[in-house]
């Protein structure tokens, strides 16, 4: 990807990037490893309470290091960040944090996953399947002309 485009994307996702950088800095010694996942950078943190996606940076509990489903889910939030820019934290981040705290505060069980909702028939399976197929074939939004695959 050319340097100018990378700078524009960094400015577009600046709040998330700064927050991720701060978290990575302060978590420092608790970080047990890192890897690339598509165009995102994953950081594994000992005793981290779940996972958080901030721009191209994803911070996960070490227990998720072999969980491809969680990595894909969090990468989806990275794509949302790219679409929403500065609005990502307001539209996606805050509601997610509030929901997580509410579930913990009320000591509720794990909420239904998308797959559970689809099995209950609350969503039209055919349209959901088409949506997933489209997402899987167009999953790397960070790919731009001239960017190595």
Q: Where are the domains of the chain?
A: 3-137
**pLDDT at residue number 102:** 78
Distance CA 58, CA 97 (A): 15
**pLDDT at residue number 106:** 75
**pLDDT at residue number 112:** 54
pLDDT tens per residue across all 149 residues of the chain: 689 988 999 999 999 999 999 999 999 999 999 999 998 999 999 999 889 999 999 999 999 999 998 999 999 999 999 999 999 999 999 988 888 787 777 766 555 555 655 565 554 444 445 545 555 555 444 444 443 43
Residues near 139 by beta carbon (within 8 Å), at least 6 away in sequence: 38, 75, 79
**pLDDT at residue number 97:** 86
**pLDDT at residue number 143:** 42
What's the alpha-carbon Rg for the chain, to the nearest Å? 16
Give the Cα-Cα-Cα angle 12, 98, 77 (nearest 5 degrees): 35
Distance CA 71, CA 61 (A): 11
**pLDDT at residue number 21:** 96
- Crossing angle for the helix pair 3-12 and 14-27, to the nearest 10 degrees: 80
**pLDDT at residue number 99:** 81
**pLDDT at residue number 23:** 97
């Amino acid at each position: 990807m050319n340097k100018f485009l990378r700078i524009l994307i960094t400015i577009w996702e600046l709040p998330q990037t700064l927050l991720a950088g701060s978290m990575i800095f302060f978590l420092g010694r608790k970080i047990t490893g890192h890897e690339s996942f598509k165009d995102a950078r994953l950081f594994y943190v000992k005793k981290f309470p779940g996972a958080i996606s901030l721009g191209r940076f994803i911070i996960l509990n070490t227990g998720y290091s072999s969980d491809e489903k969680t990595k894909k889910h969090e990468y989806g939030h990275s794509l949302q960040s790219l679409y929403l820019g500065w609005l990502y934290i307001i539209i996606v981040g805050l509601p997610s944090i509030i929901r997580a705290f509410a579930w913990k505060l009320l000591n509720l069980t794990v909420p239904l996953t998308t797959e559970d909702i689809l099995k209950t028939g609350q969503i039209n399976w055919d349209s959901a399947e088409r949506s997933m197929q489209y997402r899987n074939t167009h999953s790397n939004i960070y790919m731009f002309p001239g960017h190595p695959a």
